[in-house]
């Protein structure tokens, strides 16, 4: 069974392939499809909205099942911010340093007992006929008072993962990937896969 990843992010592609290919899922990236993939404006009110929009758009465009994810950081003390705006929290898409600076500024008076946060990832697989399947993953932590570590990306330098007593940016990639929100969402998706595969094959 082939599915197309609705992302051009090389890190996501590598991570997703490594987890799903042992399930006999042939994971394809957008660069193997002729033509330019449609740009999808992520204007949904939730991670699920954005993931579903991306998956459906790409599945219909490519004429094959497409898998998309949307993920981000949620801080209850800030009313759920950055949430779906995680990658553009400070205004500019993908400016990790500015996003972290703004987050730390807004958290500077928040005591450690209220600095709880979590990363969430929602995966949606869409078929060209508009059927969809959804899986999710979450990992809990704390927002540190300053950046620690040089690895990872995004908010990893300020996301303190308590079981490891380190931020995500201080963990090596393999250790982080074993506990990340995306890994947990992919794990959940893998458990659903036999049923999904049967439904997809039954419609061919």
**Helix (H/G/I), strand (E/B), else coil: 93:** coil
Q: How far is Cα 175 from Cα 75, in angstroms, rounded to an integer?
A: 23
**In the chain, what's the furthest Cα-to-Cα distance?**
57
Instruction: Confirm if 73 and 155 have CB atoms less than 8 A apart.
Output: yes
Query: DSSP H helical segments within 85-125, as ranges?
Result: 96-107
**Helix (H/G/I), strand (E/B), else coil: 52:** helix
Closest CA to 137 of 188, 200, 78, 202: 188
Catalogue the active-site residues: 70
**Helix (H/G/I), strand (E/B), else coil: 32:** helix
- Please state at what angle helix 10-20 crosses helix 181-202, rounded to 10 degrees: 60
């Amino acid at each position: 069974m082939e599915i197309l990843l609705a992302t051009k992010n090389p890190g996501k592609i590598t991570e997703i392939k490594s987890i799903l290919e042992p399930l006999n899922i042939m994971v394809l990236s957008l660069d193997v499809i002729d033509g330019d993939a449609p740009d999808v404006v992520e204007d949904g009110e939730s991670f699920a909205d954005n993931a579903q929009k991306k998956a459906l758009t790409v599945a219909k465009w490519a004429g094959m099942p497409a898998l998309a994810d949307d993920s981000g950081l949620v801080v209850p003390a800030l009313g759920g911010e950055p949430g779906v705006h995680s990658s553009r929290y400070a205004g500019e898409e993908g400016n990790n340093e500015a996003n972290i600076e703004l987050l730390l500024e807004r958290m500077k008076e928040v005591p450690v007992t209220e600095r709880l946060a979590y990363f969430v990832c929602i995966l949606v697989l869409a078929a060209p006929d508009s059927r969809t399947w959804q899986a999710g993953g979450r990992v809990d932590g704390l927002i540190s008072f300053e950046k620690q570590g040089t690895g990872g990306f995004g908010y990893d330098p300020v996301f303190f993962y308590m079981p490891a007593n380190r931020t995500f940016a201080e963990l090596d990639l393999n250790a982080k990937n074993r506990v990340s929100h995306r890994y947990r969402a992919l794990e959940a998706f893998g458990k659903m896969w036999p049923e999904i595969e049967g439904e997809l094959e039954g419609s061919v």
